[in-house]
Chain A
Amino acid sequence: MGASGFEALRLDRITRRFGDQVALRELDLTIRGGEFVALLGPSGCGKSTALNCLAGLLPLSGGSIWLDERRIDTVPPERRGFGMVFQNYALFPHLSVRANIAFGLAMHRVPKAEAKRRVEDVIRLVQLTEHAHKHPAQLSGGQQQRVAIARAIVLEPPLVLMDEPLSNLDAKLRLEMRTEIRRLHQRLDLTTVYVTHDQEEALSMADRLVVLRDGEVQQVGTPEEVYAEPVNRYVAGFMGYRNMLAFGVESCAGGEVTLAAGSARLTGVNRDGVRGGTAVAAIRPEDVGVVEADAANRVPVTVEVVEYHGREQAVQARLQGGEELHFRTTRRLAPGDQVDVGAPPERVLVFGTDDAGTGGEGRAVAPDARTTPARVDSGAGA
């Protein structure tokens, strides 16, 4: 337990509906004090809805939220006391940086002298001392972002909620702010819930990831778990497994499945209890490379497009059966080249073909059905 001042924030089957549409379905999650949790998913997956429900800006349609033993989902946002950083920052345009940051302290009737001290402290922390007198419109995007963060953390809230705070920044600034947010989190021991659609951002910042799709949790786990052991095709696709190759199952043995890719054979880890029929092999482009004749999982391909990426090249090629395959190589290739590529069997994940989001055994919502259960309420990464 950190300075956050609570043991656990517990989301108990929280549900939010907009009309007939379910934006968030029975989300169960326990966040430990001091933890950095990222809610990850594409737009419309319910991650912002979850954040707004946490902040109290959206009432729940069902379920409850508990801060230790206190139920808080019925508490209005102004008395919930969570800090929030909005995607567009939502700085008060008519107030100076200093007044923006002091706003929350004034609302909580913190004595003037103490408020002044705390504002100056946090301004120094986010390195805005020489800009403190300016209005938000006079600041750059990164500076506005820091004001928004300062305004949220000056109240020393038990929980800071961040709604895609970096999405409006350019690439370089985004990297800097990522480090900055992580630094603040470690230094102040804040509990943070961070919403993003950028898997790289989530992986690099969070202690624990919650991958959402269509309002439902797909997987909860540490960055390592989610990255290396995605529980279904959907999470795999989101985690950079760009190659999704569907082939007939030839044999299943132990934890391995072998697929018939034309004349070639593709062996991988059985991630979905595949027993026959058709299955999908998920492989990252980085794990595929040009191989020699005796390598495992050797597949002949024809090069179609080569992109220069500096140290290596990103290649789009086609298998004999017409399937697209993306891989990386340091070898100089040209369109039309015929090469053999392969991937280590432990890096090939085989999932069932039924769509991960529409039901069937490939679904991730029943934790016990998986080979490596990532228990939704485990708090394993903390």
Chain B
Amino acid sequence: MPGRHPHAWTRGREHEHPPVVSEQRAHFEYVRAGKRRDGRAGSGIAGSGIMSADRSFRHRLAERGVDRTLLLLLPGVLFLVLLFCYPFAYGLGLSFQPQKGGGPFANYVTFFTDPYLRGTVWITFKLGLPAALVNVIASVPVALRTRGSFRGKRLMTILLVVPVTLGTVLTAEGLLSYLGPNGWFNKVLTALHIVDRPVALVHNYWGVLASLLITGFPFAYLLTLSYLTGIDPTLERAAATLGAGWWQRFRRVTLPLLAPGLAITFCLSFVLAFSVFPSAQLVGDPRGSTHVISIEAYHAAFQQYDYSMGSAIAMVMAALMLVVVALVLAWRATFYRGATGGKG
């Protein structure tokens, strides 16, 4: 396992994760905002004591949605420029200035020609795709069951959301002791004579996957639940009176209306899982079978001190995520995406 240098750790987070993650978020927000843009309230808040010519100019601006409420966007724009656009552009530029020379694309050539480096892409997909898929699929029945109000709903929501608050590191530490060779899980299995000796569940692929599922599920669940509560429940009742059993109601009514939301949920879950770093580092396989792309970026930048290479790997990572997200969104564009009749 690479040494955990507190200083390097902090810098690694600043330089790699926020740009990539926030870029994806910005992209989603843009996509989601797109369908609501028509509903934007371009309320003209014009000052009272201004000249009439000035007022009519303000009026015209207000009709186009330019008024003082635009100032509300300022913190967001500042945040985006300072903490995303600039670091991203800086990293992009850096990736084209290889420290070892060989032209602007040398880093990228190295990454894709070296089988070990190239392999990290496959390893990351092998973790990220199943984790996102399982989380999204698992969130649907849970969300279906918990959408109404029932006794103990709050407690259940808290239990489901707690893993988010714990953070990946604590989850990883917990997994290490719980699923480890001397952990409770293996102790129970051996005591019940289900297995002869402890099953290896940490420091390998399964450990990382488990960690991704635990930390990713609450996100997927909360998103799915919000999409589901936006669907008018009388639609299912109508389907029932028309002869649809529970499976047909889900398959023919709820699922088609939920699908666009599930696509977004999948994208966000995937991006979270794809940029896995702490759990791959902590519960992962020290011999390299869970050597994901983010670890490699960290490795290049802060252990080999090749910032340029580290940036290049981060850019590859961003591009890969974008490709997956674009594919999913393109597929989503073929779904019905209009109103779902509910309160959402």
Contacts and interface: CB of A to CB of B under 8 A. Distances in A.
Interface of A: 55-57, 76-84, 86, 88, 90-94, 103-104, 107-108, 135, 137, 151-152, 155, 161
A77 B237 contact: yes
A88 B256 contact: no
B338 A57 contact: no
Interface of B: 232, 234-235, 237-245, 248, 252-253, 256-257, 336, 338-341
Contacts of A108: 243
Contacts of A83: 241-242
9 contacts: A78-B244, A80-B241, A84-B238, A86-B237, A90-B237, A92-B238, A93-B340, A103-B239, A103-B242
A57 B252 CA distance: 19
Contacts of A161: 241
B256 A94 contact: yes
B257 A94 contact: yes
A92 B235 contact: yes
Contacts of B242: 78, 83, 103-104, 107, 151-152, 155
Given A90-B232, A90-B235, A92-B235, A137 B339 contact: yes
B244 A107 contact: yes
Contact of B234 (A90, A103, A135, A155): A90
Which of B239, B243, B252 gathers most chain A CB within 10 Å? B243
Contact of B243 (A88, A92, A104): A104
B339 A93 contact: yes
Contacts of A79: 243
Q: Which of A82, A86, A108 has the most CB of B within 10 A?
A: A86
Nearest to A106: B252
A152 B340 CA distance: 20
Given A79-B243, A93-B338, A135-B338, 5 more contacts: A76-B240, A84-B237, A92-B235, A103-B239, A104-B243
A93 B338 CA distance: 7
Contact of A94 (B240, B241, B244, B338): B338
Contacts of B256: 94
A103 B252 contact: yes
For the complex of A and B, 7 pairs with smallest distance between CB atoms: A94-B336, A104-B242, A107-B243, A90-B238, A84-B241, A77-B240, A90-B234
B337 to A, nearest CB: 9
B253 A78 contact: no
A107 B236 CA distance: 13
B243 A81 contact: yes
A57 B237 contact: yes
Contacts of A77: 237, 240-241
Nearest to A99: B252
A77 B339 CA distance: 26
Contacts of A81: 243
Contacts of A76: 240
A293 B237 CA distance: 62
A152 B242 CA distance: 7
Contacts of B240: 56-57, 76-78
Nearest to A84: B241
Contacts of B237: 57, 77, 84, 86, 90
B227 to A, nearest CB: 14
A155 B243 contact: yes
Contacts of B239: 92, 103, 107
Nearest to A87: B234
Nearest to A163: B234
A82 to B, nearest CB: 6
A3 B245 CA distance: 27
Residue among A57, A81, A82, A93 with max Cβ neighbours from chain B (10 Å):
A93
B24 to A, nearest CB: 27
Contact of B245 (A78, A84, A92, A104): A78
Contacts of A91: 238
A161 B238 CA distance: 11
Nearest to A138: B338
Contacts of B235: 90, 92-93
A81 B241 CA distance: 6
B138 to A, nearest CB: 24
Contacts of B340: 93
A93 B243 contact: no
A281 B327 CA distance: 75
A124 to B, nearest CB: 20
A76 B236 CA distance: 13
Contacts of A104: 242-243
A269 to B, nearest CB: 44
B241 A82 contact: yes
Nearest to A104: B242
A83 B239 CA distance: 10
Contacts of A90: 232, 234-235, 237-238, 341
Nearest to B340: A93
B218 to A, nearest CB: 28
B342 to A, nearest CB: 10
A165 B96 CA distance: 66
Nearest to B260: A94
Nearest to A148: B238
B338 A88 contact: no
A88 B241 contact: no
A80 to B, nearest CB: 8
A88 B238 CA distance: 11
B177 to A, nearest CB: 46
A229 B339 CA distance: 47
Most buried by A among B242, B245, B340: B242
A88 B341 contact: yes
A123 B232 CA distance: 25
A113 to B, nearest CB: 19
A342 to B, nearest CB: 51
A242 B341 CA distance: 39
A192 to B, nearest CB: 14
Contacts of A137: 338-339
B231 to A, nearest CB: 9
